[in-house]
Structure 1
Amino acid sequence: MKLTGGQIVARALKAHGVQYVAGIPGYGSWAMVDALLAPGSEIPFIQVMQEQSSVHMADGYYRACGRPMAALLPTAVGVSKALGGLATAFADSTAVLVVSGGQLSHLPQPQCADTAHRGQYTARPCGVSKAQLQANAIDQLPSTLHRAFSTMLSGRPGPVSVEVPINVQVGTAQVRFDPPNTRMPSGRARAEKGQIERALQCLRRARRPLILAGGGVIASEASQELTALACALGAPVVTTCNGKGAIAEDHPLSAGPIGRLGSPCANQLLGTADVVLAVGSRLATTLQQGGDGGAVSALAHAQLIQVDVDADEIGRNHRVEVGISADARSVLADLAAGLTPACSRQIARDRKAYLKEVSGLIEQWEARLSLDRSDDALPFIVQRPLAELRQVLERDAIVVVGSGSVQAAVRQMFPVYLPRTHLCSGSFGSLGWAVPAAIGAKLAMPARQVVCIVGDGDFLQSMQEMAVCVMHTIPVVFLVFNNSGYVALRDAQSQVFGRHLGCEFNLPDGKPYSPEFAEIARHFGLQAWRVEHASQLAATLHKAVNSKGPALVEFITTRGNTGAVEQGNLHFPAPVYDQ
């Protein structure tokens, strides 16, 4: 049977398990949108309000479930509004497939370096994706799409774009589909026995071992292996932003996030560890600014064992004692298997005092956080509604967190207990990411509670996507923390320059300005509430979380010190002006 190019794309997506496609129909994508609904594919198409939101939605979908979703663009990636979405996914190693229409003749051709012809497609590597592929003829489509999925999901995950010109979409051909398992790599990359033994020697001898878990632990589905190894070693676990949730944060060995906006407990343990096992992290957050403006390693004092599926990351930012390029899950399992019960008992005796110190540091930090969690001052500080939210949500609820002060506060004081339940654009800090990403997360995990935690400035970037929730009955709960501005940026600007400009939303007379977000949400068709007093928190959050459809709660928060407790100074070169 002959198929059009659009039908080939749709059936290939179906064969690879894609359950949703998001995007905007247009001249360059109509044929593919039509084919999605044709017999043999029948993949739901989620029409978004802005192109970039389709990529963010697919990003959130993958982070929540580990399976890819597709975004469909009407024009080539190089001239679309979706580049920021691709960059976000690339920075955080998220598998997103972007299928786009071809370059329109009246627009300038995008210039990508190092154009290479490989087999039956064109690969044009640009800086925001693992690969940018183009099918030049209809009979090339099946192999091109197989290649896209293989590249996207193998090794370190990442976004891939496939350009399908209009003439390829509408053309017809007799093509053969190979089952995806005949074209996809399988298995996990394992470390050599000698590498495992060298790492174990370092860990056995350590007096103050520490495990640093990054997003690679979650991507590899290695949380159980991580927790088991931590218990066998008597080693506390600290996390990066994207590693939050790799270990349950009520576990006795969970010491919190590292970094300027991490916990003092985690940072102190990192600063005094003699052996650090870093798993699935680029270790970029462990670089500190030196007095001469250069980068200084925060791990220079410790022996570093670095585990990453991407060999290029080994030793990139820090000197390593043992560098292992392999899958995180397999390495953690092999390390745990190398510790005999007798060895683990001896380790527990030797590290009893160390673990008591760890417990004391965690208790001190929790006591500090409890002050903010119970603060009923008005307007709210960010931590107060977040504390109430944790009491309302189920243990496996997914929180999708925007940029700025809310992200920092959630990182520090909002405990999560399972992997893939804390989603944030940690590396790129994209404004406008959280709202569509939360919609994607709910599509991925419809039985879970999904809450989008976002500041007002961030929400203004993509609040139009509330319409998608209403049209498709997607019950996401949006929590908007309204302080009339980008206050996290204002605080940072004031710290560096001694003044701030352009970070507050004000009227000409200087009074704060803000839309009424709850009222706007009602006009979109959501249930919505505005909360200004602590007595309203519990009841309102219960109503929102138990809504049958999408809902929004607006919290009026202070412009004062509302975010995380800083664990260090913000290093930024401030200009010096002539007087």
Structure 2
Amino acid sequence: MTAISPVHHQVSAKAKTAFMTNARDNPSGADAVLFSLKANGVDYLFANAGSDFAPIIESYARRGEEGKRAPKPVIVPHEAALVAMAHGYYLVTGRPQAAMVHVNVGLANAVMGLINAHADDVPVIMMSGRTPLTEHDRPGARRTPIQYGQEQFDQSGMVRELVKWDYELRYAENAANLVSRGYAIAMSEPVGAVYLSLPREPLCEPAPKSREEGTPLQVAASPTAPDPQAIEQATAWLAGAKNPLIVCQRGDPAGRVAALLGALAERHGIAVSEVFATRNVMPSDHPMLVGPNLAELLPAADVVLVVDAPVAWIESAAQPAETAKVIHVGPDPLFARMPVRSYRASLAIAGNTARTLAALDAALEAHPPATTARRNTIAAGHSAYRAKVAKTTEAGSRGVASKAWVAHCVSEILGNDGIVFNERGAPSPFYTLKAGNRFFGNTPAGGLGWALPAALGAQLADRERLVVCVVGDGSYMFANPVACHQVAEAHGLPLITVILNNSAWDAVRLSTLEVYPEGYASRANDVPLSDLSPVPDYCAIAAGSRAWTCVVEEAGELPAALSKAVAVVREERRQVVIDVRVRAE
């Protein structure tokens, strides 16, 4: 009897010979996956590899110069960071990227990133290996004990609720077409992530050359136009309103929503409240921007236009007047993926957001313009709102800095084109933003650790653009900072990271005080489960990857530290980390 290794079962000589012959003559399933990703417009494969990656690695190694036909691989030493990098890359380019992780264990770490992408309708081409299906006789069959322990009955079930489409590759000849189909579905509105599970055997097997290699099999569905009758109804309500209000939350990567909404609001004299911003829409100095105080603004409005805002307001804190007409617009104006979202909808207009705004703007031209008095009232509201922001900012400019002061100082270095990724920093009103898509905040899901790797993805998309990440110290720890700083150094990404260090999870403390404003926690010197002291030496963590670092103890020191940071980025092209001590909010 032939001895069989308890770890490495031998593939038959006949199968091995046939496999090697086919590998030389034909592309493999792994080749087909990579080539199809590139053909569909994917620039990068953000990867955290394992034993299931063997065919992918072999494809990159074997193709050499032909590797240009595949996305450029980027190694990211943690899966949640990897997905967030793809997320950030999309926000500034509008092009979804591929992310691949190691079977179920890698997918488990990637789930946090997918939760955030799902919450903000961000497309990611998510892939993972899958434990080999077979135990012998096939190239790619099982060879280690973990390939028994890692198998699941339904690996895709781990992420099914977070993606638009999922499938498991069965045959190599389907690989290219499945990638193309997944990409097309991801980019059809409302856009979102998709998932493809890749067992090792079909990745190893020969895949026939496509008849139209380099051409996607499918393309995304064209953006939908709004219903003309619905536009007519919405226009009549807006034109007849005495005190209309627009509520917005996010723009599109191309900036069309920002441009159209700003023009519509100014032309027709409609106040705009931007709330819980995830991708800012309005420039800070727009005269129709009146701030996020919906407790005051919402009950006074007679018509409310909600523009693609997943979380338009908090029902327990503010609601429209009972007589108000409430119009929701967007690719999915009712946000069907949210189980509970009970906002009143007098009219819901499904369609591409930019097309809908353009149609409303054109239809409103046929009606009398807004009165000068209404425009002046809104402009006065804008001035009062900005004055309140300035007063709050100034109050935090002495002693230990406030988050608002940090936001002001960061705004001073952004210039016309700089962008900020913000997680647990001051909200968008405290930044001075020159245009839409200058501020990116964490999604409604709030999966911590998002901002730092997302900012790295944005920096990878444009190495010359100034990118700043402002992140709370608790969120910084969640971001797997060792992995993030390694990626920044390895790929020459000169990101500026500002850590807001209050030695606590302030969000935990504040949420407790919201529920129990006069409870025991409100009187405690140390709120349970929120203290992070003693904090690590964050600068030492970053210095391990040769970052330029600085500690800011007093608010007045911050402008000079940021000015030096910009000089390091511009002249030395290396990453910067500034540890800023901030007061409890």
Q: Is the 8 A contact 1:11 1:40 kept in 2?
A: no
How many angstroms does 1:97 deviate by?
A: 1.0
How many angstroms does 1:532 deviate by?
A: 1.4
How many angstroms does 1:333 deviate by?
A: 1.0
Give yes or no for the alignment of 1:100 onto 2:134: no
Q: In 1, distance between residues paired with 2:436 and 2:326? A: 25
How many angstroms does 1:474 deviate by?
A: 0.8
Q: In 2, distance between residues paired with 1:446 and 1:209? A: 42
Q: In 2, distance between residues paired with 1:159 and 1:299? A: 37
How many angstroms does 1:108 deviate by?
A: 4.4
Q: Is the 8 A contact 1:73 1:80 kept in 2?
A: no
Give yes or no for the alignment of 1:40 onto 2:66: yes
Q: For residue 6 of structure 1, what is the aligned residue in structure 2?
A: 30
Q: Is the 8 A contact 1:287 1:298 kept in 2?
A: no
Q: In 2, distance between residues paired with 1:489 and 1:125? A: 27
Q: Which range moves more in the overlay, 474-483 or 210-219?
A: 210-219
Q: 1:52 aligns with which of 77, 80, 84?
A: 80
Q: For residue 170 of structure 1, what is the aligned residue in structure 2?
A: 204
Q: 1:330 aligns with which of 355, 375, 379?
A: 355
How many angstroms does 1:218 deviate by?
A: 5.4
Q: For residue 227 of structure 1, what is the aligned residue in structure 2?
A: 262
Which residue type is aligned with residue 533 of structure 1?
A: E
How many angstroms does 1:156 deviate by?
A: 0.9
- Secondary structure at the residue paired with 2:498? strand
Give yes or no for the alignment of 1:505 onto 2:550: no
Which residue type is aligned with residue 227 of structure 2?
A: E
Q: Percent identity?
A: 25
Q: In 1, distance between residues paired with 2:321 and 2:148? A: 52
* Structure 1 segment 9-158 matched on structure 2, within 5 A: 9-36=33-60, 38=63, 39-42=65-68, 43-76=71-104, 80-103=108-131, 104-111=147-154, 126-158=160-192
How many angstroms does 1:473 deviate by?
A: 0.9
Structure 1 or 2, whichever has the larger Rg, is: 2
How many angstroms does 1:556 deviate by?
A: 0.9
4+ aligned runs moved over 6 Å, structure 1: none
Give yes or no for the alignment of 1:469 onto 2:512: no
Q: In 1, distance between residues paired with 2:245 and 2:347? A: 15
Q: In 2, distance between residues paired with 1:495 and 1:331? A: 37
Q: Is the 8 A contact 2:330 2:351 kept in 1?
A: yes
Q: For residue 279 of structure 1, what is the aligned residue in structure 2?
A: 307
Which residue type is aligned with residue 302 of structure 1?
A: A
* Structure 1 segment 303-322 matched on structure 2, within 5 A: 303-310=325-332, 312-313=334-335, 317-322=342-347
Which residue type is aligned with residue 309 of structure 1?
A: P
Q: 1:215 aligns with which of 250, 269, 274?
A: 250
Q: In 2, distance between residues paired with 1:125 and 1:80? A: 9
Q: Is the 8 A contact 2:81 2:450 kept in 1?
A: yes
Q: Is the 8 A contact 2:40 2:216 kept in 1?
A: no
Q: For residue 481 of structure 1, what is the aligned residue in structure 2?
A: 500
Q: For residue 119 of structure 1, what is the aligned residue in structure 2?
A: none
Q: In 2, distance between residues paired with 1:229 and 1:382? A: 32
Give yes or no for the alignment of 1:443 onto 2:426: no
Q: CA RMSD in A?
A: 2.5
Q: For residue 401 of structure 2, what is the aligned residue in structure 1?
A: 380
* Structure 1 segment 174-253 matched on structure 2, within 5 A: 174-176=208-210, 177=212, 180=215, 183-215=218-250, 221-242=256-277, 244-253=279-288
Per-residue CA deviations over 1:42-95 (Å, capped at 9, x if unaligned) read: 332221121121111111111122111111112148853111111110011101
- Secondary structure at the residue paired with 1:150? helix
Which residue type is aligned with residue 44 of structure 1?
A: K
How many angstroms does 1:182 deviate by?
A: 5.3
Instruction: Classify 1:78/1:484 alpha carbon distance in 2 versus 1 (closer, same or farther; 3 Å).
Output: closer
Which residue type is aligned with residue 379 of structure 1?
A: V
- Secondary structure at the residue paired with 2:535? coil
Q: In 1, distance between residues paired with 2:362 and 2:513? A: 51
Per-residue CA deviations over 1:120-174 (Å, capped at 9, x if unaligned) read: xxxx972111122211100111221111101111011111111111001111121
How many angstroms does 1:181 deviate by?
A: 5.7
- Secondary structure at the residue paired with 1:32? helix
Q: Is the 8 A contact 1:518 1:553 kept in 2?
A: yes
How many angstroms does 1:469 deviate by?
A: 0.4
Residue ranges of structure 1 left out of the alignment (5+ in a row): 116-123, 257-262, 291-295, 507-512, 562-579
Q: For residue 432 of structure 1, what is the aligned residue in structure 2?
A: 449
Q: In 1, distance between residues paired with 2:411 and 2:216? A: 41
- Secondary structure at the residue paired with 1:376? coil
Q: For residue 435 of structure 2, what is the aligned residue in structure 1?
A: 418
Which residue type is aligned with residue 503 of structure 1?
A: S
Instruction: Classify 1:41/1:486 alpha carbon distance in 2 versus 1 (closer, same or farther; 3 Å).
Output: same
Q: In 2, distance between residues paired with 1:180 and 1:245? A: 35
Q: For residue 194 of structure 2, what is the aligned residue in structure 1?
A: 160
How many angstroms does 1:297 deviate by?
A: 4.6
Q: In 2, distance between residues paired with 1:106 and 1:244? A: 41
How many angstroms does 1:111 deviate by?
A: 3.8
Instruction: Classify 1:245/1:446 alpha carbon distance in 2 versus 1 (closer, same or farther; 3 Å).
Output: same
Q: Is the 8 A contact 2:26 2:209 kept in 1?
A: yes
Give the TM-score taking structure 1 as reference length: 0.85
Which residue type is aligned with residue 57 of structure 1?
A: M
